[in-house]
Amino acid sequence: MTTTVAPHFQFKDNLLHAEGIPLTQLAQDYGTPLYVYSRQALRDAWDAYQQAPAGRSVLICYGMKANSSLAVLQEFHRLGSGFDIVSGGELARVLAAGGDAGKIVFSGVGKQGWEIRDALEAGVKCFNVESEAELERIATIATQMKTTAPVSLRVNPDVDAQTHPYISTGLKENKFGIDINDAMAVYERATQLPSLRIVGVDCHIGSQITEIDPYLDALDKLILLIKALEKQGITLQHLDLGGGIGIRYTNETPLAPALLLERIFAALDKNGLDHLELVLEPGRSLTGNAGILLTTVEYLKHNEFKNFAIVDAAMNDLIRPTLYDAWHDVEPVTRRADLPAQRYDVVGPICESGDWLARDRDLALQPGDLVAIMSAGAYAFTMSSQYNTRPRAAEVMVDGTVSHLIRRRETIQELFQNEQTIP
C-alpha cells in the first residue's frame, strides 16, 4: 500500500514509515506533535532541478521561508544551493548553517536599514529591489559603507499565476515588485547612482503554481524588458524567475522542473540571451513533500452532525488549512482493517473554530492512534506559533534508518522566559 503524495513516506506491513523508520518509533522517541523530514526526499527534490538541458545550468536559491531549519539549510548548502532570503534573520540563519553569502539573493518589500547593512557586510549576490525608494536607500547605505551594492529589480509582470489570492504575487494589485512599465525608468535611475551595480532582473509571481503558462508569460515580458535595457546600454548578468512551482498535496499534477528549464532555456536561446545566468528561487517544491506532521489522537468526539478526531497538533503548528483553506492528506499511521472508517474533522485543542487540520476525512481511528498530516515540509513549521502557550513542535530528520533530532521541543519555561512581571 502506498501514499500518493510522498514517495519517502510509505506503508510497510500496514505501518507508515519515514524512509526506513516506523513513525510509531519516532513518536516514542521524540513525542508528538513532531515534524518528520526525509533527507532523501530533500535530495530528490533538489535533483529535479538539476535536469537542465545539456551544457546549461541554473543557480538554485532556495526560497528558505518555506522551511528554514538549520539542518535543512545545511543540506541544501551541501548540495550547492544558494538562498532567497526575505529578512536579516534569514540571512543570519544561512550564515549559521554554513551557507554561502555570495549565493544569496535578498527579496522583500520592506528591507530595513540594518538588514541592508548586514547583507552588504556579508556580501550577498544581490538585492532584489522592490521599489524606487528601496533603491535609493540601498544606494545611500552603500555609499556610507564605501562599497557598491549589487542590485536586481524585482519587476511585477502583471501575470495571473492562477493560484490562491493570498499566494499570488505577480498581479498589478499586489504589493510586490516594480510595475514592469516603470522598470526602465528605475534602471536608468540606478545607473546614476555610483554605489549601485546593476546585475540582474527578477520576478516571483506566486506560489503553488501548477501550470507552465504563467512562467512563460512572465518570461516573455522580462525578455522584452532585457532587450529594451540592452538598447539603452544596460546589460544584465542574470535573470531570476523566482519560485512558486507547486507540489502534489493530493491529486494535483505539478509542473516538472525539467520541462520548465527546457522551455526557459529555449526562450533565452531564441532571443539571443544565452549569456544570461538563470536563477530560480523554489521553496515549496524543494521541501513540501519531504515532511509530515505526526500527531496523536487524544479524543474521538461525536455529535449529531459531526465526528471529531481531536489531535495534539493544532493550528499553531500548521496554519495552512485555516489560513489558505489548504488540503493536506491525512494518513493513519497504523492501517486497521478491523475498524470501520468514519467521517472525521481532524481538529486541534485550540480555542478557535478555525483550529482544524482536515475536514470530512474517512478514517479508521481509535484514541491514542497516530496520524500523519502529509506534505507538511513547507510553510508548516516556519509559520508555527506558540498560541495558547503551546510549545512549538520538535523536528526530526530521517536518513535511512537513522534519525537526527534537528530541533528539540520547546519547554514551557522557554515560552515566557523573556517576560517580566511588574510591581
Ligand X SMILES: *Cc1c(COP(=O)(O)O)cnc(C)c1O
The binding site for ligand X (CB under 6 A) comprises 63, 65-66, 84, 86, 107, 204, 207, 242-245, 281-285
Packing angle, helices 257-270 and 213-231, rounded to 10: 30
Cβ proximity to ligand X, 6 vs 66, nearer residue: 66
CB of 318 to ligand X, least distance (A): 16
Alpha-carbon distances, residue 54 vs 261, 275, 360 (angstroms)? 11, 15, 47
Task: Using the minimum distance from each CB to ligand X, give the nearer residue, 27 or 45.
Answer: 45
- Beta-carbon-side half-sphere exposure of residue 292 (alpha carbons within 13 Å): 30
d(C-alpha 158, C-alpha 136), whole Å? 24
Give 197's strand partners. 150
The torsion angles phi and psi of 117, rounded to 5 degrees, stand at -60, -45
CB of 84 to ligand X, least distance (A): 5
Nearer to ligand X, 19 or 84 (CB): 84
Q: How far is the CB of 204 from ligand X (least distance, A)?
A: 4
Amino acid identity at 406: I
Find where cell 550547492 sits: 80
3 state DSSP class of 284: helix
Active site annotation includes 351? yes
Q: Of all helices (H) and strands (E), which one includes residue 129?
A: strand 126-129
The C-alpha cell that represents 97 in the structure block? 548553517
| Least Cβ distance, residue 286 to ligand X (angstroms) | 8
For 211, residues 6+ apart whose C-beta sits below 8 A from its C-beta are 162, 255
If the CB atoms of residues 158 and 281 are measured against ligand X, the closer one turns out to be: 281
Residue 200 or 242 with smaller CB distance to ligand X: 242
Contacts of 229 (CB under 8 A, 6+ apart): 184, 187, 201, 235, 236
Task: Please state, in angstroms and rounded to a whole number, the distance separating the CA atoms of residues 125 and 231.
Answer: 25
**Cβ 383 vs Cβ 73: under 8 Å:** no
Closest distance to ligand X from the beta carbon of 298 (Å):
32
Catalytic site residue from 61, 126, 203, 351: 351
User: Least distance to ligand X from the beta carbon of 245, Å?
Assistant: 6
- CB-facing half-sphere around the CA of 182: CA atoms within 13 A: 13
Q: How far is the CB of 288 from ligand X (least distance, A)?
A: 8
Residue (82 or 242) nearer to ligand X, CB: 242
Give the residue from 392, 301, 393, 289 showing the smallest Cα distance to 346. 301
Q: Which is nearer to ligand X, 87 or 316 (CB)?
A: 87
Grid cell locating 259: 520541462
With the C-alpha atoms ordered 235, 201, 254, 91, is the resulting torsion angle positive or negative? positive
Residues belonging to the active site: 351
